[in-house]
Amino acid sequence: MLDYISVEQASEKCGISNRRIQKLCEENRIHGVIRFGRSWAIPKDAEKPADARKRRINDGK
């Protein structure tokens, strides 16, 4: 279990809320997460997914 971190630890690492981390886990946007009952185990080396709300400057919109 040493290769995994909690939602709280991932929240601190990524600089976003615990709830947002939980939603990203539920949506399978963080690769390699494991669900244990009501808790999530997140791989230590997992990267924060890109924010889909942000637009690229050169997308022509």
Chain segment 1-54, per-residue pLDDT in tens: 579 999 999 999 999 999 999 999 999 999 999 999 999 999 999 988 887 776
Quick check: is 33 in a domain? Answer: yes
The residue range of the domain holding 17 is 4-43
CB 10, CB 46: distance < 8 Å: yes
Tell if the pTM clears 0.75, that is, is over it. yes
Quick check: is 48 in a domain? Answer: no
Number of domains the chain contains:
1
Beta strand pairing call for 4-5 and 39-43? antiparallel
Quick check: is 58 in a domain? Answer: no
Quick check: is 55 in a domain? Answer: no
Quick check: is 22 in a domain? Answer: yes
Q: Per residue in 9-28, is it b (16+ CB within 10 Å) or e — as a string?
A: ebbeebeeeeeebbebbeee
Quick check: is 8 in a domain? Answer: yes
